[in-house]
Amino acid sequence: MYYKELLKNTITLFVILFLWGCGSSAEYTTAKMAIQDEEWEKAEEFLFKALEVEPANAEVMVQIGYHVHAKKEQWADMNEMFDNALKANPEAKMNSRPISELIKNYRNMFWAENYNKAVRTYNDYKGSKDKSILQEAIDRFEQTVEIDPNEGQTYSILSTSYYELGNNEKAIEIGKKAVDLMPNEFQPNMALGQILSFIGDK
């Protein structure tokens, strides 16, 4: 048992020294080790410490966006950190890939996860007609919009959800946003047209 622990500590020391040699601060090196070990509180602490000593390090910003804010569903903070990373160093690479590509993939992934959760909750409402479940679906759709405000697909079903909740004004506002983002798509135009027809706006 003693030898296994000694071996682990020795390997950890070598990894830290190697990463240090690659230009990482002690804080960022510690944060990366914590991420590797899934010690999330420690990772968060040292990622923010790393950002203090490396304020222009886009990679640290991406890590904070992904491992801190996204984990807490703090989508506005996540997007702010991602946007700051792109401004700080648009040419930066992480794991040999451009951070712009990684950020796009992360946003798409979180958008899809939340959209699918919201759709499942909406379908639960359709089966039960329980307005509290519908409100849960709307809350999740709103989070999905926050993750990627330019994804028009979210707005169309969110508009329908608001209509079913009885909030016609919000339904029309969101429905128009869906049409603005996808003017040539059938579904958003049809959904908005139906809502306007149902409330007597020809």
Q: What is the dihedral of CA 83, 85, 89, 94, to 10 degrees?
A: -130
Q: Supply the pLDDT for residue 20.
A: 41
User: Residues 32-91: pLDDT tens digits?
Assistant: 999 999 999 999 999 999 999 999 999 999 999 999 999 999 999 999 999 999 999 988
Prediction pTM value: 0.82
Q: Supply the pLDDT for residue 17.
A: 43
pLDDT at 94 over 70: yes
User: Residues 120-141: pLDDT tens digits?
Assistant: 999 999 999 999 999 999 999 9
Q: Supply the pLDDT for residue 16.
A: 43
In the chain, domain spans:
2-106, 108-198
pLDDT band at 103 (very low <50, low <70, confident <90, very high): very high
CB-CB contact of 123 with 100 (8 Å)? no
User: Residues 162-183: pLDDT tens digits?
Assistant: 999 999 999 999 999 999 999 9
Tokens of 58: 């886009």
Can 2-106 and 108-198 be said to share one CATH topology?
yes
- Give percent above pLDDT 70 in the chain: 88
User: What mean pLDDT, rounded, does the chain reach?
Assistant: 89
CA distance linking residue 140 with residue 133, whole number of Å: 11
Terminus-to-terminus CA distance in the chain, angstroms? 77
CATH of domain 2-106: 1.25.40.10
CATH class of 108-198: mainly alpha
